[in-house]
Structures are given as C-alpha cells and as structure tokens.
Amino acid sequence: MADISEDDVSSHKSGENEPLSSNDSSEATIVEEPKFGLWELISTLMDLKTLPHILLLLILSTILYALAQGPDSANLYSAIGFISLSFGYSLTAMSTRWDFAHKMVRVEGLASGSWFKSMLLRSLRAWTLPLLLSGLICIGLLQLVKGNENWETWIPLSLSTLFLLWSIGQGLSFKSGTSSWLANGKKVLDDTVRESSVIGISTGQILAVTTVAILIGYGYSSGFQGETNEKLKWIGFIILAITIQIAMIYWIKDTIIDVSATKGGARFATRWGMVSQIFVTWHLASAWRRLIDEPSAFTMIIEEFTLMIITVLLAIWSLASRDVNRGGKLFTSENALFWGLAFGFGYAGSIAMITNLSDSLGGGNLATTMAIGHLVTAITLIIIHSKTLRDHKIRILNPPQIMVQEADDIDLQVTEVESVDDAPEVKELETQEQVIDLDDLEFSDDVVELMD
C-alpha cells in the first residue's frame, strides 16, 4: 500500500495542483503496534549510564545479608534496609518520567582526563535520589517498629515468606516471557488441521531433558568415573528427571492431543515443551546438588546470581512489554532497570531472611534454602505447563489483530478543509461524523493513489 507523503498533502494545500475536494482532505492514520523487545531491554540494562546502580545493588545486598546473619536486632535492621531499598527504587522508577529525575539518576558527561574520579562523583549524584527515597521509607519503618515487639518479629518473617513468592514468580515470569517469544511468527499460529499425536510432540521434549540431565550428571560426577556412590547419585537424578517428564506428559496428554490438532499448536507445544522442561531440569539439578552434595560457595553464588538476572530480566520484560503495548507509562524501557533493582533488593532480602530463619530453626543453611526455592520454581513450571498450551490454542483461534491496517480496512473521518489563497472555497460538509469507505473516494490525477 502506498503512503500519502506530507509533501503531497502540502502541495495540495498550497494550491500548486488542483484544489482538494472534501473527500481528498481525509488523512489515513495507520496505527503501529509499539515494540519493546527483549534486546531493547537488555541494551537498557547494560547501559553504562546506569551501571552505578547495579554496583550499589551488589554492595548493599552483601552488607545487608551479612548483617542479617547477626543477632535478632541486626536481622530486623537488615530486613528494614532491604524493604526500604526495594520501595525506594520502585519510587525512583516511577519518578523517571520527569526530566529532572531522569537526568539525575544517570551518569553522563564523564571527564576524559580523570575518568575514575568523574565516575565516582557522578555515581554519588546518581545514587542520591534512590537513597534519599529509601532513607525516608527507612525512617518511617523504624518509627513504626520502635518499642513494638510484634513488628520486630513480623517484618523479617514477612520478608522471608516472600522467598516462596519469588520462587513461584520465577516460574511465572519464565512462562510469560518465554511463551510470548516462542509464540511469535505465523507458523505457530497456523490453524491448519493435522493429526494429533502425544508421542510425536513429547519425543523431542524427553530427548532434550535426557540430554541435559546426562550432561549435568556427567559434569558433576567427574564423567561418571568417580566413586560408586557419586555415580549412583547422578544416575538417580537422570532417572528422576526422565520419570518426572513421563508423568507430566501422561497427566496432560488430553491437552497435548487437543493443542496439537493444528500445525501451529503442534509447533508451539514442541518448542515450549523442550525449552520449559530444560529449565525445569536445571532447577531440579540445582536442588539435587544442594541437598545431596556440598556445593562450593563461589559456584552457588554465581549460579544464583545468574538465575536472579534471568528471572528479573524476564519479569521486567513481561511487565514492560504489556504496559508499552497498552500505552502505559508505569513500566517503560527508560525505567526498566530501576524496576529490576527494586525486584533485586526484594529477592536478595527474602533470601537473607529465610536463611536466617532456617538457621534459627535447626541448622539450615543457604544451600538448603536455595534448594527449596529451586524445587518450588520447578513445580510451578510443571503445574502451569498445561495452561500455557491451552492459552496458545486460544491464541490460534483468536489471532492477534494486525495493527498496521490494509488500505481497504481503513475508515477515513471526513473533516472540514480550510480554504487557501487562490483556491475555491470548499463547502462545509453537513455530516462531519460520516465515515466514507476508501473505495468511494475519487481523487484527481495529481493525488497519490492508494494501492493494496
């Protein structure tokens, strides 16, 4: 479809060609769907202008986590610190819609001669707004708990219970972000009827899980050449991973048959089954290793930090893309990092509190705590697997409408055309609200034609 350029419209308004008729004055507006892809989000999070905030997350989370492992009073202050920083960065994210806040929280204009000193000073400036907001919230919470023993107990306990919600949220955010990514493309929306097959859809899923389980077991048992007990532990994990997949497929076989009745549904079911269950296997392996072995602290921290990044990334992408598509301003590409930091402080705080709680209840440790979180996330993904398939079937039956409309589908609103110099006066239309179909419009020879 050819577009009407601004120059063409201007030339008619200036009287260079034949005067526009009342029908010619209508403008076709094509509404394009706003885009907020995963790569746009990653580039935003990796922006050097906001790097100091990520460093602040690492520094303060480490300090507050160490504080949480102290006496009860220190545990309370740690919880208040995590909560304050989480809400402080949430308010910062919302305030970046204003220009002064948007500029204040970013590091710009570094001096080339003294880069480190300039970076340090401007980082302190960038931290000012979130730390000020967090400080005000912290003062309020301290006044609230002052002399009240119930609050001193419930604040750390409430933050620790968020750990289970974060673990469930990991599964939900993975589902939301990954299923949206896998559902892109015409092939996964193909409603051509095909013969349903549970075996055909599930074969790739089971093979993928088996391969990943063997690789993980092979890697953590020295290539199955260690002691007998070590080999049996990871052979047992491989058997467990395969058994879980077979049981889940048997549980949702009716849904798989229903969804795979179309080519698009079968394609999506295969993709989602492989990707999601590989992620489930990773979580199961992490839990297995923490409960069976004694993982090194460094390895565990790296893995959990990677998982936190993936979780926060998918959660922010899901929330931001939905809000952008609705035209909202709460979650945008400009404030995505600050929402991620708010979630990050909350996530780190819940881990610190539940680790402290497990220690006080009977010698628990961080490895056991994280193992529970991995199991909750894996179970969440298994439970929502069937619903994700059903949601895609609905998407095939009701495909998303194309926002960029074809010429024959565009309704033009008739408006009054102002008279110009040396041009005959255009008679005002009596029916301004009348909608004229494009096929009824008659253009002069010099007017650009609209073609499909």
Domain boundaries, the chain: 1-30+417-452, 38-397
The whole-model pTM stands at 0.69
Tell me the C-alpha distance between 214 and 234, whole Å: 8
Instruction: Judge whether residue 33 has pLDDT over 70.
Output: no
| pLDDT in the model for residue 58 | 87
Mean pLDDT (whole number) for 254-268: 91
| pLDDT in the model for residue 303 | 73
**Tally of residues, the chain:** 452
Give the orientation angle of helix 115-145 with respect to helix 51-68, to 10 degrees.
40
| pLDDT in the model for residue 274 | 93
Mean pLDDT (whole number) for 179-193: 84
pLDDT in tens, 75-85: 889 999 999 99
Q: Which two tokens stand for residue 341?
A: 């930091």
Instruction: Judge whether residue 417 has pLDDT over 50.
Output: no
pLDDT in tens, 271-293: 999 999 999 999 999 889 888 87
Identify the residue whose tokens are 């697997």: 385
Mean pLDDT (whole number) for 297-313: 72
Instruction: Judge whether residue 246 has pLDDT over 70.
Output: yes
Task: Kindly list the distances between the CA atom of residue 200 and the CA atoms of 211, 303, 346, in Å, as whole numbers in the listed order.
Answer: 18, 34, 42
36-42, long-range: CB < 8 A, 24+ apart: 36/317, 36/320, 36/321, 36/324, 36/325, 36/333, 37/321, 38/177, 38/181, 38/313, 38/317, 40/333, 41/313, 41/316, 41/317, 41/320, 41/333, 41/336, 42/313
Instruction: Judge whether residue 248 has pLDDT over 70.
Output: yes
Task: Please enumerate in sequence order all residues whose Cβ is within 8 A of that of 411, keeping only pairs 6 or more positions apart, or say none.
Answer: 435, 436, 437
Whole-number average pLDDT of the chain = 75
Identify the residue whose tokens are 């790296």: 302
Tell me the C-alpha distance between 380 and 378, whole Å: 5
Q: Are 88 and 105 contacting, i.e. CB atoms less than 8 angstroms apart? A: no
Q: Which residues of 195-207 are buried (b: 16+ CB within 10 A; e: fewer)?
A: ebebeebbeebbe
pLDDT in tens, 362-412: 555 677 778 888 899 999 999 999 999 999 999 888 876 544 444 444 444
Q: 326 by DSSP, 3-state: which?
A: coil
pLDDT in tens, 151-172: 777 888 888 888 888 888 888 8
